[in-house]
Structure 1
Amino acid sequence: MGLFKKNPFGHNLFIKKWLIRILAVLSHQRYKRFNKLEIEGSDIIRNLPGNNVLFVSNHQTYFADVVAMFHVFNASLSGRENSIKNLGYIWQPKLNMYYVAAAETMRKSLLTKIMAYAGSISVERTWRSQGKDVNRQVKMSDISNIGKALDDGWVITFPQGTTTPWKPIRKGTAHIIKKYRPIVVPVVIDGFRRSFDKKGLQIKKKGILQSMVIKEPLDIDYENESTDSIIEKLEYAIEQHPSFLKVISKKDLLAYEEANKARKFRNSNP
């Protein structure tokens, strides 16, 4: 790889490689020592093509989820079997891996700008801005950038657009699937909300069992399937369909969220 080679977004790949290596070294113990990350589906990762793959996942923190996926996907490609043991897998990371994130989030600090360079496709949210509800048109350049990233490699997206569980999936994800026809791989995560603060930068509690399950690609009829049908498939695949609330009652869910708030309050006090 040449020193000056760039990806389709103009990012220098040599710089990107070193940023990914450094961020991986700094974050590895969060999933291996302070908490334990259980993984299923490494073989699915190894059997995917090099591009036009869209990973869809539920969302629990701003950054810890996607950083864990960078670890797991690279470890799987290096032959690790459901493990992120021995950090050597990050020496030659997959450089054409991207994730969709809110532009305003990725502009907030030097750290988020570094993380954006490492792989963010920054998009303007159509429903929320600066903490307020808004209603604005989708920027076609955002859609085009996701298509450009899919053409180059893999894209991770959190189609609910929020870390709050059980929220509906945004229709934009279904439109992207119909337009670009990627292989759609569901990922279900758990334990990250209990382990980290909302941003996913601070460790909130140690000794938490985290999990990441990579599922088989979805069977989608890109030509004839409706966006509503695709959305329903995604909801079931990432275990965020309203029917799951019949298993976890709203009362239990509310108690769970209140417990999280209480833990956050306790950890914010010396």
Structure 2
Amino acid sequence: MGLLKKNPFGHYLFLKKWIIRIMGGMTHQRYRGFNDLQIEGSSILKNLPDRNVLFVSNHQTYFADVVAMYHVFNASLSGRDDSIKNVGYLWDPKLNIYYVAAAETMKKGFLPKILAYAGSISIDRTWRADGQNVNRQVKMSDISDIGRALDDGWVITFPQGTTKPWKPIRKGTAFIIKKYKPIVIPIVIDGFRRSFDKKGIRIKKRNILQSMVIKEPLDIDYDTEGVDSIIEKIEYAIEQHPSFLKVIPESEIEAHESLNEKRRYSADTNKDKDL
């Protein structure tokens, strides 16, 4: 790889590789140390084509979710099934991984700008800006940028456009699927909201059980299937359809939180014994 080789967005691949290596090394303990990331289904990744793959996922923090996916994707491609043990998999990372993010988020501060260079496709949200509800038209350049990224590699998107659960899927995701016909891989994550602050930078609690489930590709008829049908499939696949609220009783949620508290207490006790 030449030092001056760039991706379609003008980013130097040599620089991007070192950002992924450094940031990956700095964040590895967040998922395998301070907390425990359990992975399921990562073997699916090894059988995917090198380009035109769209990952759709629920969203819990600004940055921790996508950083974890960079770890899991590269670990799987280097032969580690459902594990991110030994961070050496980042020495030769996949450089054509991109993720869709709000432009205003990626412009706030030095760290977001560094993370943006690692693969952000920054878009202007049509429904939210600077903490206020807005209503503006989709920028066609944003759609084109996502298309360019799909043409070059893999794209991660959070189709709800927010870290709040149970929000509706944005129709733009379905339009992109119909237009570019990517393989669509659902991902379901959990535990990140309890582990980190909203931005996903500061560790809020330790010894939290995090999870990432990578599912089989969605079966989509790109030519005849309607937008609403695609949206419903995504909602079910990433477990954000309203019907899930009816089958997850409050007692189960409380029990899950209680388990995390026991895990934290047990870990603290073991540390005290080691001392």
Q: What TM-score range do you get, normalising by the shorter chain? A: over 0.9
- Equivalent residues in 2 for 1:166-177 (5 A)? 166-177=166-177
- State the SS of the aligned residue for 1:210: strand
Q: Structure 1 72/145 Cα, relative in aligned 2: closer, same or farther at 3 Å?
A: same
Question: Residue in 2 aligned with 1:8?
Answer: 8
- State the SS of the aligned residue for 1:184: strand
- Equivalent residues in 2 for 1:102-251 (5 A)? 102-249=102-249
- 1:253 CA displacement: 7.3
**Distance across 1 between alignment mates of 2:184 and 2:46:** 15
Structure 2 residue 56 is matched with structure 1 residue 47:
no
- 1:19 CA displacement: 0.4
- 1:248 CA displacement: 2.5
Report Cα offsets for 1:200-251 as digits up to 9, x if no partner: 0000000000000000000000000000000000000000000001013579
**Distance across 1 between alignment mates of 2:209 and 2:61:** 15
Question: Residue in 1 aligned with 2:82?
Answer: 82
Report Cα offsets for 1:13-46 as digits up to 9, x if no partner: 0000000000001100000000000001121000
Q: Extract unaligned runs of 5+ from structure 2.
A: 258-275
**Distance across 1 between alignment mates of 2:5 and 2:241:** 42
Q: Extract unaligned runs of 5+ from structure 1.
A: 258-270
**Distance across 2 between alignment mates of 1:218 and 1:250:** 30
**Distance across 2 between alignment mates of 1:121 and 1:250:** 37
- State the SS of the aligned residue for 1:159: coil
**Distance across 2 between alignment mates of 1:248 and 1:101:** 29
Give aligned pairs, total.
Answer: 257
After the TM superposition, which segments of 4 or more aligned residues of structure 1 sit over 4 Å from their partners?
249-254
- TM-score, normalising length: structure 1: 0.93
- State the SS of the aligned residue for 1:32: coil
**Distance across 1 between alignment mates of 2:249 and 2:112:** 36
- TM-score, normalising length: structure 2: 0.91
**Distance across 2 between alignment mates of 1:155 and 1:113:** 18
Q: Bigger shift: 244-253 or 5-14?
A: 244-253
**Distance across 2 between alignment mates of 1:103 and 1:233:** 27
Alignment-mate amino acid for residue 132 of structure 1: Q
